[in-house]
Amino acid sequence: MNKYGLLLRMQLYNSFGINRMLHSHETKERKRVILSTLSGILISALLIFYSSIYCLGLAMTNLTNLLPAISVLLCSVISLFITLMKGVGVLFGMRDYDMVMSLPVNSFSVVTSRLTASYLQNIVGCLLFVVPATVIFGIFAHPSSGALIMFLCATLFMPVIPMILAMAVGALITVFSSRTHHSNVASIILNFAFVLLIMFGSLQISSTKGAQFVSISNMVGSMVNKIYPPAILLTNAVNRNHVLPFLGFAALSILLGAIFIFVIAHFYQKLNAAFTTTRQKTSHKVAAALKISTPFGALYRREFHQLFSCSTYVLNSTFGIVLLLIAAVMLQFFPIAILEKQMGMPAGTIRAIQPLLPLVPGLFATWSCSTCASLSLEGKSRWILCSIPVQPITIFNAKIAVNLTLSIPALLVSAILFCISLRPTIAVGILTFLIPILYAFFTAVFGMFLNVKFPNYDWTSTTNAVKNGTSVMISSFSGIAVGILPLIVCTMFPEFITVIIAGISALLILITVLLYHKLKRTSLYA
């Protein structure tokens, strides 16, 4: 237990940046950890707000009895999402495997500590929904104190089964994709499909009103109870104030968790060896004729290889433009009137906001930034870039070029499709091609500048570099602000749309040029 506690503490310190906060003497490190913490608090507050609104909607429509089943569903989705985003690197193929296994610890302690760290992160995500659900359930259903305690304590067990399922499926997919010489392809497709499914479901729920909301919620609640036995156990325990179903719910989660831990611990070293061997086999390539390339070309190809070696990195870097392409394609097959009705807009709204069309693809471009984490992903191999005989700006240019290669073709295709379906004026059509390109350049250069200022090299999993870096946080929130604020201002002052768009364009060009000039004078690892 002492060894398990030490390993768990090491995992938590590494995941949340506690070590750097306690022992780093650099002001930059402390600011980075504080900024990441504040960003996490802000996101948590927003999630609590939205979950409270949804639970209140159920209570106001006399569907309070569905809260336990809906809680299990959403907590399962949250746990699946968090675990899939972290990937199988939690258990297999981590960079510090050799170092950890050389310590005087057994496989059981290593597996249990790593799963516990992931479990605690899932618990935090689940509490953001269960706490508001419990409070609203207590106010509107007037249950006994025992039912409320069971509802809240159930949070300890809700993430277990989804977490185990996600890790098992993720490991199988990774091994399968590696054996087929298409590493990470299946993981990338799964992550995209999963996130798109969540967004589609959220949009459908948010667009429903009155009787639709009641019928959909009833359908979801009954479906969850039918296909997921733990949900009906918790529903019976809370709604009927029965202890035995709750004990059954807890025992089932604990039993499945214990079986998973013992099986993984027993075969842990063999599984890691097989995982590593598979990756090495698939990374082996037949020797071919050497190709001569410019330093920029070689770095550009290297950056593309690094991008597609991590499914989470691909998801972060392309999600915005993928959504944009989906929206543009949908406009070709669905009449505008139907789309307006589905989104709850008054008839003619999309036609009326045509002058804002150039800003819409720009908003999605700000959600697709690969440069904000590209330098951090170099990790311990950053000495390679330090030792090669090229200027730092050449390295930065290669990383920026990859971001532009991903975004600009998608933006141009989307602009063509928007112009075909919406038929804007010639001036608006030209701006629909030009303005998003300015946003793409700004996003790529700004992300590169942030990652140079706030690099994160001491990671053990690529997910930490892609998701937890300060540069990623700042880039995400700044990108949303840069994309949404012009739309809000144009909506408030529609008579000055042309002037506002011109001013935004000039400002984007100025900031991009200034930041790029700063990059040209920046040392790579100062």
Predicted pLDDT at 313: 80
pLDDT over 90 (residue 154)? no
Least confident of 104-118, 193-207, 288-302, 393-407: 193-207
pTM: 0.65
Supply the DSSP string of 18-78, one letter for each residue.
HHHHHH---HHHHHHHHHHHHHHHHHHHHHHHHHHHHHHHHHHTT-GGGHHHHHHHHHHHH
pLDDT (average), residues 230-254: 85
On whether the CB atoms of residues 313 and 307 are closer than 8 A, the answer is yes
Q: Where are the alpha helices (DSSP H) in 229-357?
A: 229-240, 243-266, 268-283, 295-307, 311-333, 336-342, 349-352
> How long is the chain?
526
Q: What is the pLDDT of residue 517?
A: 93
Which tens digits make up the pLDDT trace of 409-453? 999 999 999 888 888 888 888 999 999 999 999 999 999 998 888
pLDDT for res 214: 52
Contact in structure between 363 and 451 (CB atoms under 8 Å):
no
Q: Which of 36-50, 104-118, 317-331 has the lowest mean pLDDT?
A: 36-50
Q: Would you state the pLDDT for residue 493?
A: 84
Residue 215, pLDDT score: 56
pLDDT of 279 strictly over 70: no
Find, among 71, 269, 34, the residue nearest to 153 by Cα. 71
CA distances from 310 to 97, 197, 410 (A): 18, 21, 21
**Arithmetic mean of pLDDT, 6-29:** 68
108, two tokens = 């059981």
Tell me the H-state helices in 142-267.
Answer: 145-153, 160-179, 185-206, 211-227, 229-240, 243-266
**Local confidence band at 454 (pLDDT 50, 70, 90 cut-offs):** confident
More confident: 380 or 185: 380
Residue 501 has pLDDT above 70, yes or no: yes
Mean pLDDT of the chain: 77
Which residues contact residue 518 at a Cβ distance below 8 angstroms, ignoring those fewer than 6 apart? 449
Region 134-146 average pLDDT:
86
- Report the alpha-carbon distance of residue 486 to residue 350 in Å, rounded: 17
pLDDT given for residue 282 in this prediction: 46
Is the pLDDT at 263 greater than 80? The verdict is: yes
Cα separation of 434 and 428, whole Å? Answer: 10
Stretch 20-35: mean pLDDT: 66
Q: Provide the pLDDT for residue 211.
A: 45
What is the pLDDT at residue 249? 86
Each residue's pLDDT tens digit, 202-229: 455 444 444 444 555 556 556 666 667 7
pLDDT of residue 284 exceeding 50, the answer is no
pLDDT of residue 401: 94
pLDDT exceeds cutoff 70 at 103: yes
Among 268-272, 281-285, 436-440, the least confident range: 281-285
Q: How far apart are CA 131 and CA 143, in angstroms?
A: 15
Angle between helices 497-520 and 392-422 (to 10 degrees): 160
Q: How far is it, in rounded angstroms, from Cα 288 to Cα 62?
A: 68
- Residue 359, pLDDT > 80, answer yes
The pLDDT tens digits of the residues spanning 298-339 come to: 888 888 888 877 777 887 788 888 888 888 888 877 766 666
Say which residue, 508 or 350, is predicted with more confidence.
508
The pLDDT score that the predictor gives to residue 196 is: 60
pLDDT of residue 283: 46
- The helix/strand/coil state of 357 is coil
Q: What share of the chain has pLDDT > 70, as a percent?
A: 72
Average pLDDT estimate for 488-492: 84
More confident residue, 359 or 95: 359
pLDDT at 396 over 90: yes
For residues 434 and 358, the answer to whether their CB atoms sit within 8 Å is yes
Q: Which of 104-108, 292-296, 358-362 has the highest mean pLDDT?
A: 358-362
Written as six digits, the tokens of 409 are 């073709």
Highest mean pLDDT: which of 44-58, 186-200, 207-221, 460-474?
44-58
Q: Where are the domains of the chain?
A: 2-282, 295-520
Task: Provide the pLDDT for residue 518.
Answer: 92
Q: Are 237 and 245 in contact (CB under 8 A)?
A: yes
